[in-house]
């Protein structure tokens, strides 16, 4: 079974997005590097709006995009339901001998998938932001929390935090 990991950056109230981008824009360069290091070589699954927020397909990763519509880019592997996207992800993982995949947003996909995830990898930013999209609330008691590092960048302080789900 593929290990499913939700990776997200959040403000201190769970803020995720504003007007189709992250509320802090692309200002956290070290966090973008962390995201790339963690996800490189693994499939990433996302909603259509998150796909549209990216400059293009994420290289070195199968880009699985959930949409009821059509995306005119052969690098987007599109599926009309989450179930079909997950089945495709499992197949890619089986074929590559890999064992983990990342859910990379946005709010609607994190919310739909959080109960299926084995792990959350959150960038917790110690600031509040205007937002129109939030990370779903979750029961912290269900997870073991480990702070991996704390970074100061561009006037922001943030920590990379790993939440591993306890045995159910």
Ligand X SMILES: NC(=O)c1ccc[n+]([C@@H]2O[C@H](COP(=O)([O-])OP(=O)(O)OC[C@H]3O[C@@H](n4cnc5c(N)ncnc54)[C@H](OP(=O)(O)O)[C@@H]3O)[C@@H](O)[C@H]2O)c1
Tell me which residues touch ligand X (CB under 6 A).
8-9, 16-17, 20-22, 46-50, 53, 66-69, 80-82, 104-109, 112, 133
Q: Are 31 and 157 in contact (CB under 8 A)?
A: no
User: 16 or 101, CB closer to ligand X?
Assistant: 16
Q: How far is CA 75 from the centre of its chain?
A: 18
* Nearest residue to 75 via CA among 102, 51, 50, 42: 51
User: 60 or 80, CB closer to ligand X?
Assistant: 80
Shortest CB 20 distance to ligand X, Å: 5
Side-chain-side CA neighbours of residue 22 (13 Å): 20
Shortest CB 152 distance to ligand X, Å: 19
Calculate the alpha carbon distances from 117 to 51, 52, 114, 135, 168 in Å. Answer: 20, 24, 5, 14, 12
**For residue 39, which phi and psi values (nearest 5 degrees)?**
-95, -20
By Cβ distance, which residue is nearest to ligand X?
106
Shortest CB 26 distance to ligand X, Å: 10
User: 141 or 157, CB closer to ligand X?
Assistant: 157
Shortest CB 97 distance to ligand X, Å: 28
User: 9 or 92, CB closer to ligand X?
Assistant: 9
């Amino acid at each position: 079974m593929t290990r499913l990991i939700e990776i997200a950056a959040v403000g201190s109230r769970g803020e995720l997005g504003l007007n189709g981008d992250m509320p802090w824009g692309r200002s956290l360069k070290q966090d973008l590097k962390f995201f790339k290091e963690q996800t490189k070589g693994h499939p990433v699954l996302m909603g259509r709006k998150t796909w549209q927020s990216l400059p293009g397909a994420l290289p070195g990763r199968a880009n699985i995009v959930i949409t009821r519509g059509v995306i005119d880019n052969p690098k987007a592997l599109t599926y009309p339901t989450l179930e079909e996207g997950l089945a495709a992800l499992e197949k890619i993982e089986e074929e590559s001998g890999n064992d983990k995949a990342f859910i990379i947003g946005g709010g609607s996909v994190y919310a739909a998938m959080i109960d299926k995830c084995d792990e959350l990898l959150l960038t917790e930013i110690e600031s509040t932001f205007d937002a129109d999209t939030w990370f779903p609330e979750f029961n912290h008691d269900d997870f073991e929390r480990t702070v991996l590092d704390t970074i100061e960048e561009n006037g922001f302080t943030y920590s990379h935090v790993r939440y591993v789900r306890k045995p159910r």
